[in-house]
Chains A and B, each alone.
Chain A
Amino acid sequence: MVESRLVRVLLRMAAWLTIAFMWAPLIVIAVYAFNASRSQSWPIRGLTLDWFARAAADGSVRDALLASVLAACGATLLALLLGTLTAIAVARFRFFGRGTISFLVVLPIALPGIVTGMALSTTFRTFGIDLGLATVIVGHATFCVVLAYNNVVARLRRLSRTYEEASMDLGADTWATFRRVLLPGMRSALLSGGLLAFALSFDEVIVTSFTAGAGTQTMPLWVLANFSRPNAIPVVNVVALALIVISIVPVYVAQRFGGEAVAVTR
């Protein structure tokens, strides 16, 4: 089917309009972060950098940033460990129930967020485990496993097994082969999987709100607690811009490293 000229022009307009629609809110928030006025009315009256200083000096924002970084690092490391082990087993061995494993890995992210959050929160309460940073990390790691797994398993499927066989034929044992052959082969997949897991964990709010308890506040939870307080609005705008940057940059880098799972699993 050869599209008529008119159809092509209309489609092109629709495509760019859709992209403008997708970017407009992000740009609006970025602009508000520099808003000189305290009110959220559009258009903004003047530009200032004051709110960045105010945000940096705010103790609760700094605490939230620290909590978010700790949670995201902890969750990323755990997810990488669990995801890589699963990926090696699935990509390098055949065994009963292999097909079920990828299903099990995707489940925490495939089920609605309130279900995962509610299930974890109920379990922690039922067993008398105090909610805090540790329970947030457990929750995040559980749904981040799939990002590490998808990236590593896709890489291992493309990585020829002959290198591992050659390594072992040359006298390297399992550990040496892992360290010298498998690990260098997986390195960029681990990096992009880790970056995606970090970005997802840093930004997550639904499961976090169920597992954080009263004393723990990550950056998104801080925004959630302050978005309706008129006094806090300018600082919320700055934190919002920071959240956009912190969530986009790792993904952009992961994409450059050839992350396989960027598109599918979010």
Chain B
Amino acid sequence: MTRGASDTGVPRASGDAPRRLAGALWRRPRLGRWLLLALPLGWLAIVYLGSLAVLFLNAFWSLDPFTGQVVRELTLDNFVHLATTEVFRTITLRTLGIAALVTVACALIAFPIAYYMARIASRRTRAMMLIAVLLPLWSSYLVKIYAWRTILGGNGLLDWLLAPFGLASPGFGELAIWLVFTYLWLPYMILPIYTALDRLPASLLEASADLGARSGFTFRRVILPIMIPAVAAGSIFTFSLTIGDYITPRLVSNTKFIGNVVYENVGVAGNIPLAAAFSLVPVVVMIGYLFAARRIGAFDSL
């Protein structure tokens, strides 16, 4: 294509403003593309990055204990308070610890189904299973937690199922949090592992067998290395979503996550600077996590 429409000799409606504008933009492609981007980039940069900056700034402000007003002077008090208070340390460790346990559980449960879908199931079964994994992923997040609340609660489904064995539901608490998070984020782990196994050429496995490797050896030397980036990719979701959640602990336990403290301090307690400082903990952890995941090659598996 050589030049714009207006130069090709096609008769054009003279005095047609939109068309003249189109021609002008065509001759200035740089202006055109920045006009395209002005609105969305302005939105994301001002509304989102701007908000993150305000959040960051608030974390270094403080609350006047007598007036309840935010004092706009830079201070590290919030961070000192968070680091030296036993409760906040416990909550941080609990949040990160449960996030790690959830990630491990998701990886262990996700592998068999992902392997079955990618390498054993027939085409039709595989398509059906993919939809069966995707739809629960997309169905209402809050309702899924609420459903577990009724299942785990007194006289719920779990009590009924375990009664013949003389057992009862573990009830609400940290175990319930771990179970519900594992349930919620499991599809995020299944999908990348499935994709990685699906991409693995069958000839590699055959070659390994032809060269005399037993199944276990092939698993360790061929399947595991391609699984690691996929698990790392899935773990970004399982880890990040767990440390950023406060609804699950609220519905199925009395214990607190970082998110619960943040939410309470925005609402009832009204200490926004402290909440802002505490909400930076997940950000810092996730940035570190993303860098580590990138080294393992997680981003190629997303």
- A162 CB to closest chain B CB (Å) equals 9
* A29 with B147, Cβ < 8 A, contacts A22-B186, A23-B136 known: yes
- A256 CB to closest chain B CB (Å) equals 10
Using C-beta atoms within 8 Å of the partner chain, give the interface range for chain B: 35 or more
Q: Interface code B1-45, partner A: CB below 8 Å = 1, 0 otherwise? A: 100111010101000001100110110011011001101110111
- Tell me if B39 and A171 are in contact (CB < 8 A): no
Question: Is A122's CB within 8 Å of the partner chain B?
Answer: yes
Q: Interface code B39-61, partner A: CB below 8 Å = 1, 0 otherwise? A: 11101110111111011001000
* A113 with B112, Cβ < 8 A, contacts A122-B51, A122-B55 known: no
Instruction: Give A251 to B138 CA distance when docked, in angstroms.
Output: 7
Partner of A19, one of B129, B241, B258: B129
Question: Is B268's CB within 8 Å of the partner chain A?
Answer: no
- Tell me if A224 and B129 are in contact (CB < 8 A): no
- Tell me if A22 and B8 are in contact (CB < 8 A): no
Interface residues of A (CB under 8 A from B): 1-4, 7-8, 10-12, 14-15, 18-19, 21-26, 28-29, 32, 39-43, 81-83, 85-86, 88-89, 93, 95, 101, 104-105, 107-108, 110-116, 118-123, 125-126, 138, 141-142, 145, 165, 168-175, 199, 203-206, 209-210, 220, 223-224, 227, 236, 240-241, 243-244, 246-248, 251-252, 255, 262-264, 266
Which B98-154 residues have a C-beta within 8 angstroms of A?
109-110, 112-113, 115-117, 119-121, 129, 131-144, 146-151, 153-154
Instruction: Give A95 to B36 CA distance when docked, in angstroms.
Output: 12
- A173 to B, closest residue via Cβ: B22
Instruction: Give A89 to B140 CA distance when docked, in angstroms.
Output: 33
- Tell me if A119 and B159 are in contact (CB < 8 A): no
Instruction: Give A8 to B117 CA distance when docked, in angstroms.
Output: 11
* A224 with B142, Cβ < 8 A, contacts A165-B1, A171-B5 known: yes
- A108 CB to closest chain B CB (Å) equals 6
Interface residues of B (CB under 8 A from A): 1, 4-6, 8, 10, 12, 18-19, 22-23, 25-26, 29-30, 32-33, 36-37, 39-41, 43-45, 47-52, 54-55, 58, 109-110, 112-113, 115-117, 119-121, 129, 131-144, 146-151, 153-157, 159-160, 183, 186-188, 190-191, 205-206, 208-209, 213, 215, 218-219, 222-223, 240-241, 243-247, 251, 258-259, 262-263, 266, 272, 275-276, 279, 282-283, 286, 302
- B180 CB to closest chain A CB (Å) equals 9
Contacts of A86 in B (CB 8 A): 36-37, 40-41
Contacts of A224 in B (CB 8 A): 142, 247
